[in-house]
Amino acid sequence: MLASCSFLPIQSDTDFYGLIIGINDYTYLPPPPKGDLLYCEDDASSIHSSLIENGWKTEELTLLLGSNATKTNINNILIDRINQANENDFIFVFFSGHGCRISDADGDEPDGLDEALVPVDYQPANSSPLITDDELSFIFSACGTEKGIFIIDACHSGGVINKSLAGTNIRVKSIDSITPKGSGGSGDLTITNFPVMTACSQNEYSYETGAFGHGVFSYFLLEGFQNLKADRNKDNYITIRELFNYAENHTETYTSMHAFPTIQHPAMRFPMDLLDILITR
């Protein structure tokens, strides 16, 4: 019976690696609402603080904000973390910023488009500084662990795990004070054995709002961490599924009740049945 006691000390040889990215001020994009974003760096900083408050150590986390979040930096640090992690280790990756889509260069996407994260040095006339889902898939293909989470808070981010809600009842209204992130599209991030969580579905925007000073989805992730609010089974740990359930429910409710142009439906691909992974320690 002791095997089920969650209050027993955790025996572990797990090392933790985290990369947290937030970009407001894009070098080559116009100011908000047409280009730059307002609260992504706050999303990233607050996620960083929440993890520290919940047992992570500062040296386990790398925070890349604004001008430091270039494609080179993001890729180098991500590759470094992935190369360091062995099968028992935990990798946490968080991105808050623009997402976009470009024509598929290698013909592997059914919709003819590659999805991409937009680093700070992106130039509208030059797609090379983008980090495409093909590149992310290649980087994660070397990943030694299946334990961790890749969280993407960007418009149309659900497209990277191919969870479309096309045809559902999505209302479109216009509110000037809300800044949609990116222009997105559909596609696949072919990381099949690693959990991926996205702020919205393929055909939706991911919003940030001055009411929270955060992206809506990121805000509810943060609220889930706060005082273990997302701890659904009251075991004093927050797991990937618990955090997603909390943020998903609140994001959908909030965006449906506050006249956002579209409802935001977060999505998650979690390949393992009957299993959950702890984020807090």
For other proteins, the binding residues (CB under 8 A) are: 1, 3-6, 8, 10-14, 87-88, 90, 144-147, 193, 232-233, 237, 241, 271-278, 281
Catalytic hit among 40, 100, 143, 155: 155
* 98 catalytic per annotation: yes
Q: Is 155 a catalytic residue?
A: yes
Q: Of 144 and 261, which has the nearer Cβ to other proteins?
A: 144
Rank residues 11 and 177 by Cβ distance to other proteins and give the closer one: 11
Least distance to other proteins, CB of residue 12, Å: 5
> Which H or E run contains 51?
helix 40-53
Assign 224 to helix, strand or coil. Answer: helix
**Closest residue by Cα to residue 149 from 258, 234, 276:** 276
Q: Which of 48, 98, 156, 214 is catalytic?
A: 98
**Residue closer to other proteins (CB basis): 87 or 175:** 87
Which residue in this structure is represented by tokens 């280009």? 35
Q: Give the largest Cα separation in the chain, rounded.
A: 62
Question: Smaller CB distance to other proteins: residue 88 or 128?
Answer: 88
For residue 148, the minimal CB distance to other proteins (Å) is: 9
Quote the least distance from Cβ 84 to other proteins, whole Å.
15
Question: In terms of CB distance, is 240 or 263 closer to other proteins?
Answer: 240
Strands (E), 66-213: 90-96, 99-103, 113-117, 131-132, 148-153, 179-180, 196-198, 207-209
Element (H, E) at 267: strand 267-269
Separation CA 25–CA 38 (nearest Å):
8
Name the minimum Å distance from CB 256 to other proteins.
20
**Closest CB 54 distance from other proteins, rounded Å:** 12
Rounded alpha-carbon distances, angstroms, from residue 61 to 6, 19, 81, 93, 232: 26, 6, 10, 10, 26
**Residues labelled catalytic:** 98, 155
